[in-house]
Amino acid sequence: MAVINADEAGANVVPFLDTIAWSEIGPDLLAASDDGYNVLVGGELFEGYADHPRKVVEVREGLRSSAAGRYQILERFWDYYQQLLELPDFGPLSQDRYAVRQLKEQKALPLIYGGLFDQAVAKVANIWASLPGAGYGQHEQRIGDLREVYIRAGGKLSDD
């Protein structure tokens, strides 16, 4: 479960973050790791949260990535947002705050607060390759599966 509290993040945000982690990391690796916070792309675990691990992994031929952590954050984006948000490290709370900032910049937070889950996923699919409609040529989860994860994590859907 995300470590950021609901008071800081807002209604439905923690379940939404848990859904992104499930989508990006997968349930087995979430359970076998520090809830995804210490996972490199490809499934290897890293130690220590002082900084982004800065390890480039060949995911498959022609695809190399520095994605790391619960939200598979790329090194080049981490450096910018760490400075912008004055994040002290690559620890769980810093990763959560990074992810919330992404939700804010993509204008997904009002949708999440209002329980408009499918629309919020569509708004952030360009950030997380595992979300439906991302279009990065990687495996994309099904929206129905994501919705179920979100609800199990305590997320509320709009009645509309």
Which residues are designated catalytic? 24
Torsion sign across C-alpha atoms 6, 7, 8, 12: positive
Whether 42 and 57 have beta carbons less than 8 Å apart is answered as yes
Among residues 138, 128, 140, the alpha carbon closest in space to that of 16 is found at 128
Contacts for 30 with CB less than 8 Å, ≥ 6 apart: 21, 22, 36
Contacts for 17 with CB less than 8 Å, ≥ 6 apart: 2, 4, 9, 70, 71, 96, 99, 100
